[in-house]
Chains A and B, each alone.
Chain A
Amino acid sequence: MPNLFPRNSNSFLWWTIGLGGVFVVLLITGLTVFARTHNNQVGVPVEQPVAFSHSLHAGSMGLDCRYCHTTVETSNFANVPATETCMTCHSQVRVNSPQLAVVQESWDTGTPIAWNRVHDMPDFVFFDHSIHVAKGVGCSDCHGPVHQMEGMWKNEPMTMGWCLECHKSPEDYLRPRSEVFNMDYTRPRNQVELGAQLVQDYHIDTEKLPQCWTCHR
């Protein structure tokens, strides 16, 4: 019976192990470098159909985030306001402004304004706004100084490593609930003690927080 495999097929095993190892090492390094350096659209304003200015509405005028993003405390999703919410004021204020033509048209025709998404979590991440807000994570901790932003962009990379910074040590970031919507909040000097106290008061389970299944369900 002739040999089924040629003689050099013995070395095939070693080649596989060697190249496979190199491949795995390259893959891990490559992905890490990619995740660290990939710009992730941070700081790049997303073009919108209406030139809405947060710095005017939430900054100079001082409207509370929840005036428009009403569901943020009760839903996993912080709603984009309905055209009706815009029209609550703009049925009277700056009615004929060309900047508001798209809003007016949406109101007249009953067609929603097609806002472009700025933050898009991958579908394999379970994210819930309401629980973060309820446990003392401030709006500006993740979204940055929105009340000073003319356009809207992602202020943080929103990568898993970034999420874990807080999920591993929430005491470095938490605020009292009353300060969650305060856009000018700065962390006090005794943040670590305050944070540790809040972790206790708000019953935050620091064992569960960094587990895979907290976000990947």
Chain B
Amino acid sequence: MRKNRRGVLVLSILLALLLTACGRNMVEQPVYRSYDVNPYLPQGTNAHQPPEGTVSRERGAIDPAFFTGQGEGGMLSELPIELTTGVLQRGMERYNIYCAPCHNYNGDGRGVVVQRGFPQPASLHEPRLRDADVGYFFNAMTNGFGRMYPYDRVPAEDRWAIAGYIRALQLSQYGTPEDVPAEVQLESLIQAEADR
């Protein structure tokens, strides 16, 4: 009889130990997440800077011209991707996200960041840039230009789409009434602009 009591006691203590498994170890699993601090790695975090001189597999290895904007004869003068309405629309969307803060939505270089003290960039509509090759813009986005930092966080396809859209922007500022297709009523466009 006394032995049993002791047995029950021992068993209860053992069962109580099971409760200690209720921790947060499923919430915080021992996995490496991008931004975690990691004292065992040289840079102190799981996210690494690539060693100097690293060539990205995405960049350059397969088609250098596509990833630099430069071919054997200098800057590419044609888009290396097929120009479709979809590409232009994508270019517009990406331009408005990444470029418009400085270059402004219409490309005149008076964007909201410039209004807050960033030196004003050249207007995309000045003759020098109207004559520039499309690869020139791609190259500026990829490597930066003057005070402009590189925008290689924007994927290469999108940078080409933006370059294509810059061409459309440039065209837009020098339009004449004759450029409007016959089936579009010019008056209705002017009215729409006035309503806006």
| Interface residues of A, Cβ cutoff 8 Å to B | 2, 4-6, 9, 61-64, 66-67, 70, 77, 80, 84-85, 87-89, 91-94, 110-112, 114, 117, 122-124
Contacts and interface: CB of A to CB of B under 8 A. Distances in A.
Contacts of B101: 61, 63, 67, 89
Nearest to B35: A80
B153 A85 contact: yes
Nearest to A94: B117
A67 B118 contact: no
Interface of B: 1, 4, 26-29, 31, 34-35, 37, 44-45, 47, 49, 96-98, 101, 112-113, 116-119, 147-149, 153-154
B31 A112 contact: no
A180 B91 CA distance: 18
A93 B1 contact: no
Contacts of B117: 92-94
A28 B113 CA distance: 54
B4 A6 contact: yes
Given A6-B4, A9-B4, 17 more contacts: A2-B1, A4-B4, A5-B4, A61-B116, A64-B96, A67-B97, A67-B101, A84-B149, A85-B153, A91-B149, A92-B117, A92-B118, A93-B117, A110-B49, A114-B37, A124-B26, A124-B29
A6 B84 CA distance: 88
A92 B102 CA distance: 12
Nearest to A65: B97
5 contacts: A67-B98, A67-B101, A91-B147, A114-B37, A124-B29
A45 B118 CA distance: 30
Given A85-B153, A92-B147, A123 B29 contact: yes
Given A61-B101, A66-B97, A123-B27, A93 B118 contact: yes
A3 B147 CA distance: 92
A110 B168 CA distance: 39
Contacts of A111: 44
A70 B149 contact: no
A112 B45 contact: yes
A66 B96 CA distance: 11
Given A4-B4, A5-B4, A124-B26, A93 B97 contact: no
A6 B4 CA distance: 9
B142 to A, nearest CB: 14
A216 to B, nearest CB: 10
A111 B42 CA distance: 12
A88 B101 CA distance: 11
B45 to A, nearest CB: 6
Given A6-B1, A84-B149, A112-B47, A93 B154 contact: no
A62 B29 CA distance: 38
Nearest to A63: B101
Contacts of B27: 122-124
